[in-house]
Each structure stands twice: as C-alpha cells, then as structure tokens.
Structure 1
C-alpha cells in the first residue's frame, strides 16, 4: 500500500501530531506500507520533530514565504506537483483548517482521499470573543463549514458523538484513537498523594479552572500535590494565577516530556478540566495505568471514554465546586479510588492498538478495492 499523509507541521507536541507519527510508524513496521509525509507549513530547518518517525518515511517540505493569497496558490501548485511524483493510492489529510476540509477541490490524481478529523467543529470558529470582526468571520465560516468535507471518499471521526457536527457529510467512518502508550503492564498503586493534569497551556484545557479547583482541594488536603505537565504555548501565566491563589506550595509545573510513564505511575488521580475535548489521549493513558479520572463532562470525548462512577467521575461542565468535591471524594476514599482504577485499566482495553489499527487497515483495503 502506498500512502501519503498531509499535515501542516510535525514538530509540535499536539495530540494529532503524536497520532500522525504513531500511525505512520505502525503502518510501516506492521503492514510494510510505503508512506510519504507532506508538510505544508514546516521547512527542513525548523525545530526537530518531537515525535520520532520511522527512517523509511519520505518527508516533503512545502512551506512558502509568500503573502496569504500567493501562499495558498503556491501551496496548491506544490502539492499537486508532489503528489504527481509520488503517485499514491491513498491520501490522508489530517488538519482541521478550512484548506484541508476543501482539499479535494484543489488536488488532482488517481487516488482515494481520506479526511481524518481530531478536533470539534467549534475550534474552526474565532474563539469566544464577540468583536464585530469575529462575528463576521464566524458567519462566513459557518457557511463554508456547512459544505465542507463532502468531497472526501471517507470522512473519519473519532466517535459517534462527533456526527452531530457533520450531518451533511456522507461516507463518515468512526475510528477511535487507540491507547498508544506502552504501560509494560505496569499499574499505578494509587497510594501517592499526587494528582496529575496533562496538556499544553491553552485556554481550551481549562487550567485556570483547574487551579481554582485545586485551591479548594488543597485547603482540605494540604498534604496532596498537583502536578501539571505540558508545554506553555500561550501567554496564560498560570504560575502567576497559582501565586494569586496562594497554592504554589502544592502545585508543580513541568514541561512536556517523553518520559511521562513514570509520572503516571506516581499519580493517584488524573484531572481533566478541559472546556472541550475531541477524544483525549491523556484520559485513555491514565486509565491504562489504572488511574481513575475526574473530568468535566465537556463535548465530546470524556463521556465516550469514562463510565461515570465506574472507572472515573464525570462532572457538570465548568463546575469547579463539583470538580473539587469529586477529587476530594477519591482522595478520602482509597477503596473507591482503587476500585475505579481497577475498572479503568480493564475498560480501556476496548481501545487497544491492534483493534483500532486493524480498522484503519480494513478501511484502506476497502478503498483500494473500490
């Protein structure tokens, strides 16, 4: 099988970049696929890729230093030239921007086109501000999104809950994310007085609400500590907020790390305070280590993964008080914490790598036969 993946960049730490790297490596190592990766907004001299890629991947850098309009034209031209040289059987687009949603209108070739969506539709809009400019842009985007994605051979979503975003799109396929971290069959003991949160410092992750929640928890359980792991990609100044809340003694910020397994194993609870989540990998990873998760019941991912009061706790969205109370409940009751952790490690097996990647393989083979 000859595949081409199209992405903007692969040198960051986002979930989609991690999944692209994993899929490419898995397909090469297990199915002997031939894969090219086309990068639209990254050049060869930029930061080294955070996630390792198989040495057999052929990389193509198409970044162009031109104005917006000229950049789009140059991108389309370079993309078509590159695809013509590669001659793939299947092209997989992996970005959530408007360009990728309308990609079938721009490129030509004798190949099948798959769109892989890892974000909710809301993320295509101009944030939550109410400026006149944002309102106009969102109206335009709403019209464009209503027709977007309809020309792909397959439109892959992470869960059934995401269908509501794309009611006009046909050829939808549901393929969940797999649990890709290797636990080596290790399970957290859930005895350390450590609570964990993982994610980039982005407003969408709700770490401002997390710190306010933790102030309430720390007042009742000062011996417990909160570890926040993730890259500071936005000017949020969470440390300043922690100082204002007077919780710096019980909160530690760590940058993004490849050795996250040891942090999971040292933790007893995972907190997910996101305002929105597509299909959170960190929730799945924590559960695979037998860690119960307390999460806001935000759209869409957490409720697709967590069984409330069985292997974790779902909290009404943005309700900081209940998030704190639920965390304190698991802190106080070690028996319930461990029972939920046991169920978490069992229930998460439905997202095994073998099961999910076989779904991708079957999809590719179906398209090629057609």
Structure 2
C-alpha cells in the first residue's frame, strides 16, 4: 500500500510536522506500508524532525510558488499521484484538501483529511471552512484529534466517508529525568503567534513573577509576534524573568528543568505540548480552550483547567503551585494518569486500521473536476 503524507513543507518545526513524522516513522516499520512525504516545496535541506531512511521525500516545486496558482498546484499534484501510483494521500493539514481532492479526479487514489485545528477555528485563511465542507463530501476519511471535535464534525456536516478520532501520541522519549522538586522555572512551548495567547501569558506572568522574584518563566518557540512580545515583556519589566528562548531541537531539556507547564492558548487542535509536558511528569495549568486540554489534563489530579480566559484565576493557581511543594509533587506523581490512550503503539495501530479500512471503502465520489 503506497501512502503519501502531503505537507506544505515537512522541513518546518511545527507541531503538525512533528506528529506526522512520528506517525510515518512508525507506519514504515510495517512492510505492508510504502511511505513517502510530499511537500509543496522545502525551504530547508534537512527536516527539523527525523525521518526514517526508508521514507522518501518529494516536492512539487523546487522553490516557493504563489498560493494563488491553485490550478498549477492541482495539475502538478495530479501528475505526482498518478506517476507514483499513490494509493492513499494523507493531507496533514485539512487546508491541503483544496488541492488534493480535485487532483485525484478519476484516479485510484483515496484521501485522508487529517485536521489539525478544531472545527470552530479557522486560523490564517478564511476558506478553511470551505475545505472542511469539501472534505465532508469527497474525502474517504477525516481524522480529528479529539472526541469533542469529532462531535462538532458530525453535528455540523453531512460526512460521506469515515470520521475518526486519533489522538496525537507521546513522542518517543525513553530518557525522562526525575521531576525536579526544587526547580523554580515555568515553561511554555509554542509558536509566538496570536492563537497561543501570549498576551494573556504576559499579564499572568506579571502577577506571578512579581510575587516570586527567584522564579523564571521560559517560552520556547519562534513566530511572527516575537517583536511585539519582546516589547510587552520590556514594558512589564520582566526581561530577567520572562525569557524567550527561541526554537530548539531538544525541547525536553526545558521540560526536564521545569517545575510546571503552562498553556495560555486561545485554541488548540489538540494540545500536544501538554502531552509532552506530562510525559516529563510536569504539573500542567491550562485554559480550558477548544479543543484538547480537557481530554489531556485531569483537573485537580495532575493539573488545573482554567475557564477561558480568566487570567486572574490562572495566576492564582500558578502561585498556589509555587507555594505548595507538596501539591506540585503530588501532581507530578500522577502526571501519567489517563495517558494510556496516547501511547504510540496504540495510535499507530489505529492509523493502520484506518488505512486498511480506507482501502476497502469505495471512493466517496469522483472528486471535483479541475
């Protein structure tokens, strides 16, 4: 079975690229799957996240091509799918359905639309709503990241194919250090962008760090709002405590030095960083934003879920954990409660089952003629 993961650029360092490489690396271990990656183009020569040497990488274009040339995208993608005799094309972001569904017109190829954002969130482009409706009519399967979002799809769209929840898995990391009970660091990981709610974070940090001058809060990631965030940190006079660390290829070293993890996002497709933090036994404090955190954190057991977007309550709960070493340790000891459903072996098995089921399904339609 020839399975192609279709990406905008698989060399990027985002969560979408991270989880898709993890899944692909697991699938390729099974001889029944012939796996490759296809990007529109690649800005870097090597991928940020490791990809198995048994997985080939391809690009439609040698360099970035204007997104307005949709018919060109479709034509080149169609040529690739037919030339490589692809059985299943997995769009690792639902927005790619705009190109893939017309491209497979009257081919044997089937489409799995892997949606990384919740149904009610349409970041970056307004036509994401259109691609979701397109996937509902024409994709052989839609994969969503949470049970609550699966219900959103079923309640709002007339879906012709399979719709299935497959969680993002724990990353492969067997070298987890013991929880540092004496740590005086908070960590947040994510793109420096509007959706990550870093404006909320700075307001919360004022209330937390002003009371705890010996604590630091490290933000791991890069993004378009770096300059704005730097200005806000300076205005808040937090330069020595609230620190932008930039990107890293070893995020675990920050998790393993921290006392807790905080997520202030306006929305999440899933909340993969929460899972990574729990893997390192960190207590987690998060807004109960759509979608994901409520399916990852056991409120009052291994962290706190805060109503959106109550910055005062979040600051209060963070301060509570700072002041209560016993509570932090208790949360740390129970960090893995409820995480069995995220085990990589379980997630990879679900992907295998889905792909086999998709191959058995009749095509949902002939696609849309370009």
Asked if the contact 2:299–2:305 (Cα under 8 Å) also holds between the matched residues in 1, the reply is yes
Structure 1 unaligned segments of length 5 or more: list them.
128-137
Q: Does 1:24 align with 2:24?
A: yes
What residue is the counterpart of 2:141 in the other structure? 154
- The 1:126–1:38 alpha-carbon spacing in structure 2 relative to 1, beyond 3 Å, is closer
What residue is the counterpart of 2:5 in the other structure? 5
Listed as ranges, the matches of 1:13-162 within 5 Å are: 13-31=13-31, 33-40=33-40, 42-43=41-42, 46=44, 48-63=46-61, 69=68, 71-97=69-95, 99-101=96-98, 103-108=100-105, 109-124=107-122, 142=129, 145-162=132-149
Deviates more, 1:114-123 or 1:207-216: 114-123
Asked if the contact 2:111–2:140 (Cα under 8 Å) also holds between the matched residues in 1, the reply is yes
- The 1:187–1:230 alpha-carbon spacing in structure 2 relative to 1, beyond 3 Å, is same
What residue is the counterpart of 1:358 in the other structure? 349
Q: Which 4+ stretches in 1 moved above 6 angstroms?
A: none
RMSD: 2.2
Q: Once the 2 structures are TM-superposed, how far is the Cα of residue 111 of structure 1 from its aligned partner?
A: 2.8
Secondary structure in structure 2 of the residue aligned to 1:204: helix
Q: 2:173 and 2:123 mapped to 1: Cα distance? A: 35
Q: 1:157 and 1:207 mapped to 2: Cα distance? A: 25
Q: 1:242 and 1:126 mapped to 2: Cα distance? A: 25
The alignment's TM-score, normalised by the length of structure 2, stands at: 0.89
Asked if the contact 2:150–2:164 (Cα under 8 Å) also holds between the matched residues in 1, the reply is no
2:267 to 256, 276, 283: 276
What residue is the counterpart of 2:289 in the other structure? 298
Asked if the contact 2:94–2:131 (Cα under 8 Å) also holds between the matched residues in 1, the reply is no
Q: Once the 2 structures are TM-superposed, how far is the Cα of residue 125 of structure 1 from its aligned partner?
A: 5.5
Q: 2:214 and 2:176 mapped to 1: Cα distance? A: 29
Q: Once the 2 structures are TM-superposed, how far is the Cα of residue 253 of structure 1 from its aligned partner?
A: 1.5
Q: 2:307 and 2:52 mapped to 1: Cα distance? A: 42
Asked if the contact 2:115–2:145 (Cα under 8 Å) also holds between the matched residues in 1, the reply is yes
Asked if the contact 2:98–2:131 (Cα under 8 Å) also holds between the matched residues in 1, the reply is no
Listed as ranges, the matches of 1:224-239 within 5 Å are: 224-239=215-230
Q: Once the 2 structures are TM-superposed, how far is the Cα of residue 65 of structure 1 from its aligned partner?
A: 6.4
Q: Once the 2 structures are TM-superposed, how far is the Cα of residue 126 of structure 1 from its aligned partner?
A: 6.0
Q: Once the 2 structures are TM-superposed, how far is the Cα of residue 337 of structure 1 from its aligned partner?
A: 1.0
Secondary structure in structure 1 of the residue aligned to 2:254: helix
Q: Once the 2 structures are TM-superposed, how far is the Cα of residue 260 of structure 1 from its aligned partner?
A: 1.7
- The 1:18–1:355 alpha-carbon spacing in structure 2 relative to 1, beyond 3 Å, is same
Asked if the contact 1:181–1:285 (Cα under 8 Å) also holds between the matched residues in 2, the reply is no
Q: Once the 2 structures are TM-superposed, how far is the Cα of residue 93 of structure 1 from its aligned partner?
A: 1.2
- The 1:123–1:12 alpha-carbon spacing in structure 2 relative to 1, beyond 3 Å, is farther
- The 1:147–1:111 alpha-carbon spacing in structure 2 relative to 1, beyond 3 Å, is closer
Asked if the contact 1:2–1:33 (Cα under 8 Å) also holds between the matched residues in 2, the reply is yes
Structure 2 unaligned segments of length 5 or more: list them.
362-370
Asked if the contact 1:242–1:248 (Cα under 8 Å) also holds between the matched residues in 2, the reply is yes
- The 1:206–1:224 alpha-carbon spacing in structure 2 relative to 1, beyond 3 Å, is same
Asked if the contact 1:88–1:111 (Cα under 8 Å) also holds between the matched residues in 2, the reply is yes
Q: How many residues align?
A: 355
Q: Once the 2 structures are TM-superposed, how far is the Cα of residue 94 of structure 1 from its aligned partner?
A: 1.3
Q: Once the 2 structures are TM-superposed, how far is the Cα of residue 102 of structure 1 from its aligned partner?
A: 6.6
Q: 2:131 and 2:350 mapped to 1: Cα distance? A: 30
What residue is the counterpart of 1:326 in the other structure? 317
Listed as ranges, the matches of 1:200-219 within 5 Å are: 200-219=191-210
- The 1:67–1:354 alpha-carbon spacing in structure 2 relative to 1, beyond 3 Å, is closer
Residue deviations 1:238-287, cap 9 Å, x none?
12211101111212211111112221111011010101011111100111
Asked if the contact 1:183–1:288 (Cα under 8 Å) also holds between the matched residues in 2, the reply is no
User: Greater helix percent: which structure?
Assistant: 1
